[in-house]
Amino acid sequence: MSQEIKTIGVLTSGGDAPGMNAVVRAVVRKALMNGVAVKGIKKGYQGLLNEEIVDMKASSVSDIIQKGGTVLGTARCKEFTTEEGQKLGADICRKHGIDGIVVVGGDGSYKGAAALAKQGINTIGVPGTIDLDISCTEYTIGFDTAVNTAMEAIDKIRDTSSSHERCSIIEVMGRNAGYLALWCGIANGAEDILLPEKYDYNEQSIINNIIRNRKRGKTHHLIINAEGIGHSTSMARRIEAATGIETRATILGYMQRGGSPTCKDRYFASIMGAYAADLLCQGKSNRVVCYQKGEFVDHDIQEALAMTKNISEYEYQVSRLLSGNV
Residues serving a catalytic function are 131
Backbone angles phi, psi at 325, to 5 degrees: -100, 30
Residue 309 burial (10 A CB sphere; 0-12, 13-18, 19+): middle
Q: What's the CA gap between 249 and 231, in Å, rounded?
A: 9
Q: How many CB atoms are closer than 10 A to CB 216?
A: 8
Helix H or strand E encompassing 320: helix 313-323
Q: Which residues contact 249 (CB under 8 A, 6 or more apart)?
A: 168, 169, 170, 171, 232, 233, 235, 236
Identify the three-state secondary structure at position 180: helix
Do 130 and 257 contact (CB within 8 A), yes or no?
yes
Cα Rg, the chain, nearest whole Å: 22
Do 121 and 93 contact (CB within 8 A), yes or no?
yes
Question: CA torsion, points 270, 276, 281, 286, in degrees to nearest 10?
Answer: -170
Identify the three-state secondary structure at position 124: strand
| DSSP 8-state class, residue 223 | E
